Amino acid sequence: MAAGKCNIIFSDIDGTLIFSEKRRKVGDIVIEYKDGEPISCITARQAEIFPRLTNVIPVTTRSIEQYKRIEFAKFGFSPKYALCDNGGTLLVDGEVNAEWAKWSGDIYRECETEMSRFRELLERDSNRSFEVRLVDGLFLFTKSSRPSATLDFLGCGELCECFATGEKVYVVPRKLGKGAAVKRFARLYGIAEFAAAGDSLMDLSMLNSANTAVFADTIPENAVTASVKLSCSRGDFTDFVTEFADKLQKK
């Protein structure tokens, strides 16, 4: 990785590099299975480009297990680095980086009391439709039949943030956001400039940490503060990001 060159792109995964089986069209290719059932896909164009991409660092709220379930390597895409758990875990060649894990664990312990309070609230929430999980020891996850009502019930935290994407509800330490993670990674590896791509408000801190932000039109443009902004319709976004990463690599 060369410092001073904006040829690295930190990319969200779901909705950005891959998309749900529910959106699968003729010609699309399954890239992830769960219990034998297809759950995520890529386009044929992405499958063609993936082997060339060595400049993409995935950044995801997925757990380590969920990330490893994606069959990227089958399509010639084997990122050396990946940030899972909303940036709380750094994988290097598929292995957990111990120093990064200690940093994240210290952050979690700082807000453990507040996190316990949010867990109690989630357990009592009448809208909850799934068990409450502590994911990789770093943040809370559940599902809600009325996510907006669940967020209202939870309220705000001083040390933790509450998010909802669709029916999924998260409670995450503020210091473990994607933005903080990519900035820390950039400092550690001497990356002066970088791009970022994402399709939801959970990606916003990462987008606004980048020099160039590539985002789906599901994110309001006025919420993005990066110096260079590239927006694309949700339906074409995964191809758009893959093409962008390919062009960035050739600079």
Residue 130 has pLDDT above 50, yes or no: yes
Read off the pLDDT of residues 189-231 as tens digits, 9 standing for 90 and up. 999 999 999 999 889 999 999 999 999 999 999 999 999 999 9
Strands (E), the chain: 9-11, 19-20, 29-34, 37-42, 56-58, 81-84, 89-92, 95-96, 133-135, 139-143, 160-165, 168-173, 195-198, 212-216, 228-232
Q: What is the pLDDT of residue 251?
A: 72
Work out the average pLDDT over 7-35: 96
pLDDT digits (tens, 9 = 90+) for 166-199: 899 999 999 999 999 999 999 999 999 999 999 9
pTM above 0.85? yes
Q: Is the dihedral of CA 189, 192, 196, 200 positive or negative?
A: positive
pLDDT value at residue 249 = 86
